[in-house]
Structure 1
Amino acid sequence: MNTPSPGYTLQGRCEQLRFRFRQSAPSLARSKRLSTCIEAQMLAFQMQVIGMTYRRYGPAQYSGSERHQTGCALMTNYSQGTGSGDFNIGALISESFAVLHRALPRFLALGLIPIVPLIISTLVIGVPTPENPFPNVSAIVVLMLIYIALLFVIQGGMIYGAFNELRGQNFSVGDALSKGLSRFLPLLGLSILVGLGIAVGLMLLIVPGLWLICMLYAAVAVCVVEQRGVTDSMSRSGELTSGFRWQILGLVLIVGIAGWIVAIIIEYIGGGLGGPIFGALLGNLFQVYLTALGSVLTALVYYRLRSIKEGIDIDRLADVFD
Protein backbone atom coordinates (compact mmCIF):
# COMPACT_ATOMS: atom_id res chain seq x y z
CA MET A 1 0.00 0.00 0.00
CA ASN A 2 1.35 3.44 -0.94
CA THR A 3 1.50 6.34 1.47
CA PRO A 4 -1.37 8.76 0.82
CA SER A 5 -0.33 12.14 -0.56
CA PRO A 6 -3.01 14.63 0.41
CA GLY A 7 -0.83 17.64 -0.37
CA TYR A 8 1.04 20.09 1.83
CA THR A 9 -1.81 21.30 4.01
CA LEU A 10 -1.61 20.90 7.76
CA GLN A 11 -4.47 18.43 7.64
CA GLY A 12 -2.70 16.45 4.93
CA ARG A 13 0.55 16.34 6.85
CA CYS A 14 -1.29 15.06 9.92
CA GLU A 15 -2.89 12.30 7.82
CA GLN A 16 0.54 11.29 6.52
CA LEU A 17 1.84 11.00 10.06
CA ARG A 18 -1.18 8.96 11.15
CA PHE A 19 -0.59 6.58 8.24
CA ARG A 20 3.09 6.15 9.15
CA PHE A 21 2.17 5.50 12.78
CA ARG A 22 -0.43 2.84 11.84
CA GLN A 23 2.00 1.14 9.45
CA SER A 24 4.91 1.05 11.92
CA ALA A 25 2.92 0.35 15.11
CA PRO A 26 3.14 -3.48 14.97
CA SER A 27 6.92 -3.56 14.53
CA LEU A 28 7.38 -0.82 17.11
CA ALA A 29 5.29 -2.75 19.62
CA ARG A 30 7.38 -5.91 19.12
CA SER A 31 10.70 -4.12 19.44
CA LYS A 32 12.30 -3.14 22.73
CA ARG A 33 15.04 -1.04 21.18
CA LEU A 34 15.33 2.54 22.44
CA SER A 35 15.48 3.96 18.91
CA THR A 36 12.10 2.49 17.96
CA CYS A 37 10.52 3.73 21.18
CA ILE A 38 11.79 7.22 20.40
CA GLU A 39 10.46 6.94 16.84
CA ALA A 40 7.00 6.02 18.14
CA GLN A 41 7.03 8.91 20.60
CA MET A 42 8.13 11.44 17.99
CA LEU A 43 5.52 10.28 15.46
CA ALA A 44 2.78 10.63 18.06
CA PHE A 45 4.11 14.01 19.17
CA GLN A 46 4.36 15.36 15.62
CA MET A 47 0.71 14.42 15.07
CA GLN A 48 -0.20 16.28 18.26
CA VAL A 49 1.75 19.41 17.26
CA ILE A 50 0.39 19.51 13.71
CA GLY A 51 -3.10 18.99 15.09
CA MET A 52 -2.61 21.88 17.54
CA THR A 53 -1.36 24.14 14.75
CA TYR A 54 -4.22 23.08 12.44
CA ARG A 55 -6.85 23.81 15.12
CA ARG A 56 -5.32 27.22 15.76
CA TYR A 57 -4.78 28.44 12.20
CA GLY A 58 -7.08 26.34 10.05
CA PRO A 59 -6.19 24.54 6.79
CA ALA A 60 -3.42 26.94 5.71
CA GLN A 61 -0.61 25.84 3.44
CA TYR A 62 1.87 23.84 5.45
CA SER A 63 5.01 24.48 3.42
CA GLY A 64 6.88 27.76 3.85
CA SER A 65 4.38 29.40 6.19
CA GLU A 66 4.66 31.05 9.57
CA ARG A 67 2.27 28.46 10.93
CA HIS A 68 4.62 25.69 9.91
CA GLN A 69 7.47 27.48 11.66
CA THR A 70 5.34 27.70 14.80
CA GLY A 71 4.74 23.96 14.79
CA CYS A 72 8.41 23.22 14.14
CA ALA A 73 9.40 25.54 17.00
CA LEU A 74 7.15 23.62 19.33
CA MET A 75 8.67 20.31 18.23
CA THR A 76 12.20 21.72 18.54
CA ASN A 77 11.54 22.88 22.10
CA TYR A 78 10.17 19.45 22.94
CA SER A 79 13.07 17.55 21.41
CA GLN A 80 15.61 19.64 23.31
CA GLY A 81 15.08 17.63 26.43
CA THR A 82 11.52 17.00 27.56
CA GLY A 83 10.57 13.66 26.10
CA SER A 84 7.46 11.77 27.12
CA GLY A 85 7.49 10.96 30.81
CA ASP A 86 10.69 12.94 31.33
CA PHE A 87 11.21 15.80 33.78
CA ASN A 88 14.39 17.38 32.46
CA ILE A 89 15.67 20.16 34.73
CA GLY A 90 18.06 21.63 32.16
CA ALA A 91 15.39 21.76 29.46
CA LEU A 92 12.88 23.40 31.82
CA ILE A 93 15.37 26.11 32.82
CA SER A 94 16.39 26.71 29.21
CA GLU A 95 12.80 26.97 28.00
CA SER A 96 11.95 29.28 30.91
CA PHE A 97 14.65 31.73 29.80
CA ALA A 98 13.39 31.48 26.20
CA VAL A 99 9.76 32.20 27.17
CA LEU A 100 10.78 35.00 29.55
CA HIS A 101 12.94 36.80 27.00
CA ARG A 102 10.28 36.62 24.28
CA ALA A 103 8.22 39.07 26.35
CA LEU A 104 10.82 40.44 28.75
CA PRO A 105 9.55 44.07 29.03
CA ARG A 106 6.03 42.90 29.93
CA PHE A 107 7.24 40.35 32.46
CA LEU A 108 9.55 42.93 34.06
CA ALA A 109 6.75 45.49 34.22
CA LEU A 110 4.65 42.96 36.15
CA GLY A 111 7.62 41.99 38.32
CA LEU A 112 8.15 45.58 39.44
CA ILE A 113 4.79 45.68 41.24
CA PRO A 114 5.57 43.38 44.20
CA ILE A 115 9.09 44.83 44.53
CA VAL A 116 7.73 48.29 45.39
CA PRO A 117 7.43 47.48 49.15
CA LEU A 118 11.06 46.29 49.15
CA ILE A 119 12.20 49.50 47.47
CA ILE A 120 10.22 51.55 50.02
CA SER A 121 11.81 49.56 52.82
CA THR A 122 15.28 50.24 51.44
CA LEU A 123 14.74 53.97 50.86
CA VAL A 124 12.73 54.81 53.99
CA ILE A 125 13.90 52.32 56.60
CA GLY A 126 17.40 51.74 55.29
CA VAL A 127 19.55 48.63 55.22
CA PRO A 128 20.77 46.58 58.20
CA THR A 129 24.15 47.59 59.62
CA PRO A 130 26.36 46.05 62.33
CA GLU A 131 25.29 48.86 64.66
CA ASN A 132 21.57 48.47 63.82
CA PRO A 133 20.92 44.99 62.35
CA PHE A 134 17.10 45.23 62.75
CA PRO A 135 15.93 48.74 61.84
CA ASN A 136 12.19 49.25 62.49
CA VAL A 137 11.23 45.58 62.64
CA SER A 138 7.45 46.14 62.68
CA ALA A 139 7.52 48.24 59.48
CA ILE A 140 9.72 45.69 57.74
CA VAL A 141 7.36 42.86 58.70
CA VAL A 142 4.33 44.76 57.35
CA LEU A 143 6.11 45.58 54.08
CA MET A 144 7.26 41.99 53.70
CA LEU A 145 3.69 40.71 54.16
CA ILE A 146 2.49 43.15 51.50
CA TYR A 147 5.32 41.96 49.24
CA ILE A 148 4.35 38.29 49.67
CA ALA A 149 0.66 38.97 48.97
CA LEU A 150 1.47 41.02 45.84
CA LEU A 151 4.00 38.42 44.74
CA PHE A 152 1.38 35.67 44.61
CA VAL A 153 -1.09 37.84 42.68
CA ILE A 154 1.55 38.94 40.18
CA GLN A 155 2.81 35.38 39.87
CA GLY A 156 -0.72 34.41 38.87
CA GLY A 157 -0.69 37.08 36.14
CA MET A 158 2.74 35.99 34.95
CA ILE A 159 1.58 32.39 34.70
CA TYR A 160 -1.20 33.60 32.42
CA GLY A 161 1.40 35.44 30.34
CA ALA A 162 3.69 32.41 30.20
CA PHE A 163 0.91 30.16 28.89
CA ASN A 164 0.04 32.71 26.22
CA GLU A 165 3.67 32.82 25.12
CA LEU A 166 3.79 29.02 25.02
CA ARG A 167 0.78 29.09 22.69
CA GLY A 168 2.46 31.68 20.48
CA GLN A 169 0.03 34.41 21.54
CA ASN A 170 0.84 37.87 22.89
CA PHE A 171 -0.46 39.17 26.20
CA SER A 172 -0.71 42.64 27.69
CA VAL A 173 0.36 43.74 31.15
CA GLY A 174 -3.23 44.85 31.82
CA ASP A 175 -4.67 41.46 30.86
CA ALA A 176 -2.12 39.59 32.99
CA LEU A 177 -2.77 41.87 35.97
CA SER A 178 -6.51 41.41 35.52
CA LYS A 179 -6.14 37.62 35.53
CA GLY A 180 -4.09 37.75 38.71
CA LEU A 181 -6.50 40.15 40.44
CA SER A 182 -9.50 38.02 39.44
CA ARG A 183 -8.04 35.33 41.71
CA PHE A 184 -6.97 37.80 44.40
CA LEU A 185 -8.73 36.26 47.42
CA PRO A 186 -7.70 32.64 46.72
CA LEU A 187 -4.14 33.75 45.93
CA LEU A 188 -4.06 35.88 49.09
CA GLY A 189 -5.20 32.91 51.19
CA LEU A 190 -2.69 30.71 49.41
CA SER A 191 0.12 33.18 50.10
CA ILE A 192 -0.73 33.24 53.81
CA LEU A 193 -1.00 29.46 54.28
CA VAL A 194 1.95 28.55 52.05
CA GLY A 195 4.12 31.34 53.45
CA LEU A 196 3.40 30.40 57.08
CA GLY A 197 3.84 26.69 56.38
CA ILE A 198 7.18 27.13 54.66
CA ALA A 199 8.41 29.60 57.30
CA VAL A 200 7.57 27.19 60.13
CA GLY A 201 9.04 24.30 58.18
CA LEU A 202 12.31 26.13 57.57
CA MET A 203 12.58 26.91 61.28
CA LEU A 204 12.20 23.19 62.03
CA LEU A 205 15.69 22.19 60.84
CA ILE A 206 15.04 23.46 57.26
CA VAL A 207 14.14 20.04 55.77
CA PRO A 208 10.34 20.27 56.38
CA GLY A 209 10.34 23.72 54.76
CA LEU A 210 12.13 22.43 51.66
CA TRP A 211 9.71 19.51 51.47
CA LEU A 212 6.75 21.93 51.58
CA ILE A 213 8.32 24.13 48.89
CA CYS A 214 8.54 21.11 46.59
CA MET A 215 5.10 19.78 47.49
CA LEU A 216 3.35 23.15 46.97
CA TYR A 217 5.44 24.30 44.02
CA ALA A 218 2.50 24.13 41.59
CA ALA A 219 -0.16 25.52 43.97
CA VAL A 220 -0.31 29.02 42.43
CA ALA A 221 -0.55 27.63 38.89
CA VAL A 222 -3.33 25.27 40.00
CA CYS A 223 -5.21 28.16 41.64
CA VAL A 224 -4.98 30.28 38.47
CA VAL A 225 -5.38 27.69 35.71
CA GLU A 226 -7.81 25.26 37.37
CA GLN A 227 -9.50 28.02 39.41
CA ARG A 228 -9.52 26.02 42.63
CA GLY A 229 -9.77 27.23 46.20
CA VAL A 230 -6.91 27.54 48.66
CA THR A 231 -6.87 24.08 50.21
CA ASP A 232 -7.85 22.38 46.93
CA SER A 233 -4.94 24.11 45.18
CA MET A 234 -2.54 22.89 47.85
CA SER A 235 -3.76 19.29 47.77
CA ARG A 236 -3.84 19.27 43.95
CA SER A 237 -0.25 20.56 43.89
CA GLY A 238 0.69 17.72 46.22
CA GLU A 239 -0.83 15.23 43.77
CA LEU A 240 0.94 16.72 40.74
CA THR A 241 4.36 16.99 42.38
CA SER A 242 4.20 13.49 43.86
CA GLY A 243 7.01 11.42 42.38
CA PHE A 244 8.89 14.49 41.12
CA ARG A 245 9.80 16.32 44.34
CA TRP A 246 13.48 15.44 44.22
CA GLN A 247 13.68 16.90 40.71
CA ILE A 248 11.76 20.00 41.84
CA LEU A 249 14.11 20.34 44.82
CA GLY A 250 17.09 20.21 42.45
CA LEU A 251 15.43 22.83 40.25
CA VAL A 252 14.72 25.12 43.22
CA LEU A 253 18.26 24.78 44.56
CA ILE A 254 19.94 25.38 41.19
CA VAL A 255 17.89 28.49 40.37
CA GLY A 256 17.86 29.75 43.97
CA ILE A 257 21.58 29.39 44.61
CA ALA A 258 22.52 30.83 41.20
CA GLY A 259 20.18 33.80 41.73
CA TRP A 260 21.52 34.35 45.26
CA ILE A 261 25.13 34.39 44.04
CA VAL A 262 24.35 36.85 41.24
CA ALA A 263 22.38 39.07 43.65
CA ILE A 264 25.33 39.18 46.08
CA ILE A 265 27.69 40.14 43.27
CA ILE A 266 25.33 42.88 42.06
CA GLU A 267 24.86 44.30 45.56
CA TYR A 268 28.60 44.15 46.24
CA ILE A 269 29.46 45.99 43.03
CA GLY A 270 26.61 48.48 43.53
CA GLY A 271 27.63 49.05 47.14
CA GLY A 272 31.19 49.77 46.06
CA LEU A 273 30.05 52.25 43.44
CA GLY A 274 27.30 54.11 45.30
CA GLY A 275 27.07 52.91 48.86
CA PRO A 276 24.98 50.23 50.61
CA ILE A 277 21.58 51.74 49.76
CA PHE A 278 22.45 51.92 46.05
CA GLY A 279 23.66 48.32 46.18
CA ALA A 280 20.44 47.21 47.89
CA LEU A 281 18.35 49.02 45.26
CA LEU A 282 20.22 47.24 42.47
CA GLY A 283 19.59 43.98 44.30
CA ASN A 284 15.87 44.79 44.45
CA LEU A 285 15.81 45.47 40.71
CA PHE A 286 17.52 42.15 40.05
CA GLN A 287 14.80 40.56 42.18
CA VAL A 288 12.31 41.76 39.55
CA TYR A 289 14.03 39.55 36.98
CA LEU A 290 14.17 36.60 39.39
CA THR A 291 10.46 36.99 40.16
CA ALA A 292 9.60 36.87 36.47
CA LEU A 293 11.88 33.90 35.82
CA GLY A 294 10.48 32.01 38.82
CA SER A 295 6.90 32.57 37.69
CA VAL A 296 7.59 31.38 34.15
CA LEU A 297 9.41 28.36 35.53
CA THR A 298 6.43 27.56 37.78
CA ALA A 299 4.11 27.66 34.75
CA LEU A 300 6.38 25.34 32.76
CA VAL A 301 6.78 22.88 35.65
CA TYR A 302 3.00 22.79 36.14
CA TYR A 303 2.45 22.20 32.42
CA ARG A 304 5.14 19.53 32.33
CA LEU A 305 3.66 17.68 35.31
CA ARG A 306 0.19 17.66 33.78
CA SER A 307 1.61 16.63 30.43
CA ILE A 308 3.40 13.67 32.01
CA LYS A 309 0.58 12.56 34.31
CA GLU A 310 -2.50 13.45 32.26
CA GLY A 311 -1.28 13.76 28.67
CA ILE A 312 -2.77 17.26 28.32
CA ASP A 313 -1.51 19.68 25.66
CA ILE A 314 -0.96 23.41 26.01
CA ASP A 315 -4.09 24.44 24.10
CA ARG A 316 -6.41 22.36 26.29
CA LEU A 317 -4.60 23.52 29.40
CA ALA A 318 -4.96 27.22 28.55
CA ASP A 319 -8.60 27.03 27.38
CA VAL A 320 -9.59 28.55 30.71
CA PHE A 321 -8.03 31.87 29.63
CA ASP A 322 -10.06 32.12 26.39
Structure 2
Amino acid sequence: MQAVGQSAQNGRAVYWTGLFLDSVTAWAVPMYFAIAGWAVLVGAPPRNGGVLRKRSLRMIIPVGIWSVVYLAWGRLRDTNGEPTSQLALDAVFGSVRPAFHLWYFYAHVPLILLLGCVILLKAGKRPWGVIAALAVVAAGPTALSDIGALTGCDVPEFGWQFGTYSLVYAVVGALLLSLPATRSTHRVRWLAGAVVSLAVVLWSQDRIHFVIPNASIFVAALTVCVLFAANGLRIPDRLRPVLGKLTDAGLGAFMFHVLLLKTIGPSFISADRGWPGAVAAAAALGIVTLASSFGLSMLWGRLKLRKYLG
Protein backbone atom coordinates (compact mmCIF):
# COMPACT_ATOMS: atom_id res chain seq x y z
CA MET A 1 0.00 0.00 0.00
CA GLN A 2 2.90 2.36 0.66
CA ALA A 3 4.37 1.49 -2.73
CA VAL A 4 1.28 2.90 -4.47
CA GLY A 5 0.55 5.71 -2.04
CA GLN A 6 -2.66 3.92 -0.96
CA SER A 7 -4.19 4.66 -4.35
CA ALA A 8 -5.26 2.18 -7.02
CA GLN A 9 -4.44 4.78 -9.68
CA ASN A 10 -0.73 4.30 -8.92
CA GLY A 11 -0.78 0.54 -9.43
CA ARG A 12 -4.03 -1.39 -9.45
CA ALA A 13 -2.59 -4.90 -8.95
CA VAL A 14 -0.32 -3.91 -6.09
CA TYR A 15 -3.07 -1.83 -4.47
CA TRP A 16 -5.65 -4.62 -4.45
CA THR A 17 -3.13 -7.25 -3.41
CA GLY A 18 -2.14 -5.11 -0.43
CA LEU A 19 -5.73 -4.25 0.41
CA PHE A 20 -6.76 -7.91 0.33
CA LEU A 21 -3.87 -9.04 2.54
CA ASP A 22 -4.64 -6.34 5.09
CA SER A 23 -8.37 -7.11 5.04
CA VAL A 24 -8.07 -10.89 5.28
CA THR A 25 -6.19 -10.48 8.58
CA ALA A 26 -8.37 -7.70 9.97
CA TRP A 27 -9.67 -10.09 12.64
CA ALA A 28 -6.18 -10.65 14.12
CA VAL A 29 -5.99 -7.78 16.64
CA PRO A 30 -9.58 -8.22 17.91
CA MET A 31 -8.91 -11.95 18.29
CA TYR A 32 -5.76 -11.13 20.26
CA PHE A 33 -7.82 -9.13 22.75
CA ALA A 34 -10.49 -11.85 22.80
CA ILE A 35 -7.91 -14.51 23.67
CA ALA A 36 -6.33 -12.21 26.27
CA GLY A 37 -9.73 -11.74 27.90
CA TRP A 38 -10.44 -15.46 27.85
CA ALA A 39 -7.05 -16.22 29.42
CA VAL A 40 -7.60 -13.83 32.34
CA LEU A 41 -11.29 -14.43 32.94
CA VAL A 42 -11.69 -18.12 32.07
CA GLY A 43 -8.60 -20.02 31.00
CA ALA A 44 -6.01 -19.02 33.61
CA PRO A 45 -7.39 -16.52 36.16
CA PRO A 46 -4.64 -14.95 38.27
CA ARG A 47 -4.21 -16.28 41.81
CA ASN A 48 -2.63 -13.10 43.17
CA GLY A 49 -1.11 -9.79 42.19
CA GLY A 50 2.27 -11.40 41.65
CA VAL A 51 0.89 -13.42 38.75
CA LEU A 52 -0.38 -10.27 37.09
CA ARG A 53 3.00 -8.61 37.62
CA LYS A 54 4.79 -11.52 35.93
CA ARG A 55 2.35 -11.49 33.02
CA SER A 56 2.81 -7.74 32.59
CA LEU A 57 6.60 -7.96 32.68
CA ARG A 58 6.46 -10.75 30.11
CA MET A 59 5.17 -8.06 27.74
CA ILE A 60 6.87 -4.92 29.06
CA ILE A 61 10.46 -6.23 29.01
CA PRO A 62 10.46 -7.38 25.34
CA VAL A 63 8.62 -4.22 24.27
CA GLY A 64 11.26 -2.09 25.98
CA ILE A 65 14.16 -3.99 24.45
CA TRP A 66 12.68 -4.06 20.97
CA SER A 67 11.84 -0.36 21.18
CA VAL A 68 15.56 0.29 21.68
CA VAL A 69 16.40 -2.02 18.77
CA TYR A 70 13.97 -0.31 16.39
CA LEU A 71 15.12 3.16 17.42
CA ALA A 72 18.77 2.20 16.98
CA TRP A 73 18.09 0.56 13.60
CA GLY A 74 16.15 3.61 12.45
CA ARG A 75 18.94 5.93 13.55
CA LEU A 76 21.53 3.79 11.79
CA ARG A 77 19.51 3.91 8.56
CA ASP A 78 18.42 7.55 9.11
CA THR A 79 14.72 6.64 8.91
CA ASN A 80 13.45 7.76 12.32
CA GLY A 81 12.22 11.08 11.00
CA GLU A 82 12.59 12.78 14.39
CA PRO A 83 15.35 13.01 17.01
CA THR A 84 15.92 9.57 18.47
CA SER A 85 15.95 10.96 22.02
CA GLN A 86 12.45 12.39 21.54
CA LEU A 87 11.17 9.13 20.06
CA ALA A 88 12.71 7.22 22.97
CA LEU A 89 10.93 9.44 25.48
CA ASP A 90 7.67 8.97 23.60
CA ALA A 91 8.21 5.21 23.64
CA VAL A 92 8.40 5.16 27.44
CA PHE A 93 4.95 6.71 27.64
CA GLY A 94 3.38 4.70 24.86
CA SER A 95 4.15 5.79 21.30
CA VAL A 96 6.63 3.72 19.29
CA ARG A 97 6.56 5.20 15.83
CA PRO A 98 9.51 3.27 14.36
CA ALA A 99 7.95 0.10 15.81
CA PHE A 100 4.30 0.93 15.22
CA HIS A 101 3.21 -2.70 15.56
CA LEU A 102 3.98 -2.69 19.30
CA TRP A 103 1.13 -0.28 20.03
CA TYR A 104 -1.33 -2.83 21.36
CA PHE A 105 0.99 -4.06 24.09
CA TYR A 106 0.44 -0.62 25.61
CA ALA A 107 -3.27 -1.49 25.63
CA HIS A 108 -2.81 -5.15 26.57
CA VAL A 109 -1.02 -4.58 29.88
CA PRO A 110 -3.59 -2.17 31.43
CA LEU A 111 -6.37 -4.42 30.12
CA ILE A 112 -5.14 -7.59 31.83
CA LEU A 113 -4.42 -5.60 35.00
CA LEU A 114 -8.00 -4.34 35.11
CA LEU A 115 -9.64 -7.70 34.34
CA GLY A 116 -7.26 -9.52 36.66
CA CYS A 117 -7.95 -7.05 39.45
CA VAL A 118 -11.68 -7.73 39.15
CA ILE A 119 -11.01 -11.47 39.41
CA LEU A 120 -8.83 -11.00 42.50
CA LEU A 121 -11.35 -8.71 44.20
CA LYS A 122 -14.09 -11.23 43.55
CA ALA A 123 -11.90 -13.90 45.17
CA GLY A 124 -11.50 -11.76 48.28
CA LYS A 125 -7.94 -10.62 47.53
CA ARG A 126 -6.57 -7.12 48.07
CA PRO A 127 -4.12 -6.51 45.19
CA TRP A 128 -2.79 -3.13 46.28
CA GLY A 129 0.07 -3.14 43.78
CA VAL A 130 -2.32 -3.71 40.90
CA ILE A 131 -4.61 -0.98 42.23
CA ALA A 132 -1.66 1.43 42.32
CA ALA A 133 -0.72 0.56 38.72
CA LEU A 134 -4.31 1.12 37.59
CA ALA A 135 -4.32 4.48 39.38
CA VAL A 136 -1.25 5.50 37.35
CA VAL A 137 -2.96 4.33 34.15
CA ALA A 138 -6.08 6.35 35.00
CA ALA A 139 -4.30 9.53 36.09
CA GLY A 140 -1.40 9.46 33.60
CA PRO A 141 -2.98 11.34 30.67
CA THR A 142 -4.29 14.20 32.82
CA ALA A 143 -1.09 14.42 34.86
CA LEU A 144 1.11 14.74 31.79
CA SER A 145 -1.25 17.29 30.26
CA ASP A 146 -1.15 19.36 33.45
CA ILE A 147 2.66 19.21 33.55
CA GLY A 148 2.74 20.47 29.99
CA ALA A 149 0.37 23.33 30.80
CA LEU A 150 2.35 24.37 33.89
CA THR A 151 5.81 24.18 32.33
CA GLY A 152 5.02 25.12 28.75
CA CYS A 153 7.00 22.09 27.59
CA ASP A 154 5.97 19.59 24.99
CA VAL A 155 5.10 16.42 26.87
CA PRO A 156 4.57 12.98 25.34
CA GLU A 157 1.16 11.43 25.15
CA PHE A 158 0.38 8.80 27.76
CA GLY A 159 -0.40 5.72 25.71
CA TRP A 160 -0.72 3.04 28.40
CA GLN A 161 -4.46 2.93 27.78
CA PHE A 162 -7.01 0.53 26.37
CA GLY A 163 -10.00 1.59 24.32
CA THR A 164 -13.59 0.63 24.96
CA TYR A 165 -13.52 -1.63 21.93
CA SER A 166 -10.56 -3.66 23.25
CA LEU A 167 -12.30 -4.15 26.59
CA VAL A 168 -15.46 -5.29 24.82
CA TYR A 169 -13.49 -7.67 22.58
CA ALA A 170 -11.82 -9.11 25.69
CA VAL A 171 -15.04 -9.65 27.64
CA VAL A 172 -17.16 -10.85 24.72
CA GLY A 173 -14.26 -12.97 23.50
CA ALA A 174 -14.03 -14.65 26.89
CA LEU A 175 -17.70 -15.55 26.59
CA LEU A 176 -17.57 -16.79 23.00
CA LEU A 177 -14.35 -18.78 23.42
CA SER A 178 -15.82 -20.57 26.43
CA LEU A 179 -18.86 -21.78 24.47
CA PRO A 180 -19.09 -25.40 23.28
CA ALA A 181 -17.39 -26.28 20.02
CA THR A 182 -19.14 -25.20 16.84
CA ARG A 183 -21.07 -28.04 15.24
CA SER A 184 -19.62 -29.24 11.98
CA THR A 185 -22.95 -28.58 10.25
CA HIS A 186 -22.77 -24.93 11.32
CA ARG A 187 -19.09 -24.38 10.55
CA VAL A 188 -19.71 -23.87 6.84
CA ARG A 189 -22.25 -21.16 7.62
CA TRP A 190 -19.73 -19.28 9.73
CA LEU A 191 -17.14 -19.62 6.98
CA ALA A 192 -19.64 -18.18 4.53
CA GLY A 193 -20.28 -15.35 6.95
CA ALA A 194 -16.54 -14.73 7.15
CA VAL A 195 -16.33 -14.49 3.35
CA VAL A 196 -19.20 -11.99 3.24
CA SER A 197 -17.69 -9.98 6.11
CA LEU A 198 -14.32 -9.96 4.36
CA ALA A 199 -15.95 -8.58 1.22
CA VAL A 200 -17.53 -5.77 3.26
CA VAL A 201 -14.20 -5.02 5.00
CA LEU A 202 -12.54 -4.79 1.56
CA TRP A 203 -15.25 -2.41 0.37
CA SER A 204 -14.90 -0.29 3.51
CA GLN A 205 -11.11 -0.07 3.25
CA ASP A 206 -11.35 0.95 -0.40
CA ARG A 207 -14.24 3.39 -0.15
CA ILE A 208 -14.31 4.71 3.42
CA HIS A 209 -11.05 4.46 5.35
CA PHE A 210 -7.73 2.64 5.24
CA VAL A 211 -6.69 1.22 7.69
CA ILE A 212 -10.13 0.16 8.91
CA PRO A 213 -10.52 0.76 12.68
CA ASN A 214 -10.58 -2.31 14.90
CA ALA A 215 -13.77 -0.95 16.42
CA SER A 216 -15.57 -1.18 13.07
CA ILE A 217 -18.71 -3.32 13.13
CA PHE A 218 -17.45 -4.93 9.91
CA VAL A 219 -14.23 -6.05 11.62
CA ALA A 220 -16.25 -7.28 14.59
CA ALA A 221 -18.47 -9.35 12.30
CA LEU A 222 -15.45 -10.87 10.55
CA THR A 223 -13.85 -11.66 13.91
CA VAL A 224 -16.94 -13.41 15.27
CA CYS A 225 -17.34 -15.45 12.09
CA VAL A 226 -13.70 -16.54 12.15
CA LEU A 227 -13.94 -17.37 15.85
CA PHE A 228 -16.99 -19.60 15.47
CA ALA A 229 -15.68 -21.20 12.28
CA ALA A 230 -12.48 -22.23 14.09
CA ASN A 231 -13.93 -22.91 17.55
CA GLY A 232 -13.58 -26.59 18.39
CA LEU A 233 -11.37 -27.57 15.46
CA ARG A 234 -9.14 -30.40 16.64
CA ILE A 235 -5.44 -30.17 15.88
CA PRO A 236 -4.08 -33.60 14.85
CA ASP A 237 -1.75 -35.04 17.47
CA ARG A 238 1.13 -35.30 15.00
CA LEU A 239 1.02 -31.54 14.38
CA ARG A 240 0.82 -30.43 18.01
CA PRO A 241 4.57 -30.52 18.80
CA VAL A 242 5.33 -28.35 15.76
CA LEU A 243 2.46 -26.01 16.53
CA GLY A 244 3.64 -25.75 20.13
CA LYS A 245 7.12 -24.69 19.03
CA LEU A 246 5.69 -22.11 16.63
CA THR A 247 3.42 -20.78 19.37
CA ASP A 248 6.35 -20.41 21.75
CA ALA A 249 8.24 -18.47 19.08
CA GLY A 250 5.24 -16.40 17.99
CA LEU A 251 5.72 -13.39 20.27
CA GLY A 252 9.39 -13.04 19.37
CA ALA A 253 8.66 -13.42 15.67
CA PHE A 254 6.02 -10.72 15.93
CA MET A 255 8.41 -8.36 17.71
CA PHE A 256 11.08 -8.77 15.02
CA HIS A 257 9.17 -9.13 11.76
CA VAL A 258 8.38 -5.46 11.09
CA LEU A 259 12.08 -4.58 11.24
CA LEU A 260 12.67 -7.11 8.48
CA LEU A 261 9.65 -5.98 6.46
CA LYS A 262 10.67 -2.33 6.59
CA THR A 263 14.19 -3.23 5.54
CA ILE A 264 13.60 -5.64 2.67
CA GLY A 265 10.02 -4.85 1.65
CA PRO A 266 10.86 -2.10 -0.89
CA SER A 267 13.13 -4.48 -2.78
CA PHE A 268 10.23 -6.92 -3.26
CA ILE A 269 7.31 -4.57 -3.96
CA SER A 270 7.08 -1.91 -6.67
CA ALA A 271 4.06 -0.06 -7.99
CA ASP A 272 4.53 -1.13 -11.62
CA ARG A 273 4.03 -4.86 -11.03
CA GLY A 274 1.11 -6.59 -12.73
CA TRP A 275 -1.14 -9.16 -11.09
CA PRO A 276 1.23 -12.16 -11.32
CA GLY A 277 4.17 -10.05 -10.18
CA ALA A 278 2.28 -8.44 -7.29
CA VAL A 279 0.99 -11.76 -5.96
CA ALA A 280 4.35 -13.49 -6.39
CA ALA A 281 6.23 -10.64 -4.71
CA ALA A 282 3.82 -10.60 -1.75
CA ALA A 283 4.11 -14.38 -1.39
CA ALA A 284 7.92 -14.28 -1.57
CA LEU A 285 8.09 -11.46 0.96
CA GLY A 286 5.74 -13.35 3.27
CA ILE A 287 7.75 -16.56 3.08
CA VAL A 288 11.07 -14.81 3.71
CA THR A 289 9.62 -12.83 6.60
CA LEU A 290 7.95 -15.83 8.26
CA ALA A 291 10.94 -18.14 7.88
CA SER A 292 13.44 -15.54 9.12
CA SER A 293 11.31 -14.25 12.00
CA PHE A 294 10.33 -17.62 13.40
CA GLY A 295 13.78 -19.05 12.77
CA LEU A 296 15.49 -16.28 14.73
CA SER A 297 12.89 -16.44 17.50
CA MET A 298 13.47 -20.18 17.88
CA LEU A 299 17.21 -19.51 18.00
CA TRP A 300 17.05 -17.02 20.85
CA GLY A 301 14.56 -19.32 22.56
CA ARG A 302 17.25 -22.02 22.58
CA LEU A 303 19.66 -19.43 23.97
CA LYS A 304 17.25 -18.80 26.91
CA LEU A 305 16.52 -15.24 25.79
CA ARG A 306 12.76 -15.61 25.49
CA LYS A 307 12.23 -13.50 28.63
CA TYR A 308 14.01 -10.57 26.99
CA LEU A 309 13.19 -10.86 23.30
CA GLY A 310 9.76 -12.48 23.43
Interval of TM-score (by shorter of Structure 1 and Structure 2): under 0.3
Structure having the higher Rg: 1
Q: TM-score, normalised by structure 1?
A: 0.26
Which structure would you say has the larger RCO, counting Cα contacts within 8 Å and 6 or more residues apart? 2
Q: TM-score, normalised by structure 2?
A: 0.27
Judging by fraction of residues, say which structure has more helix: 1
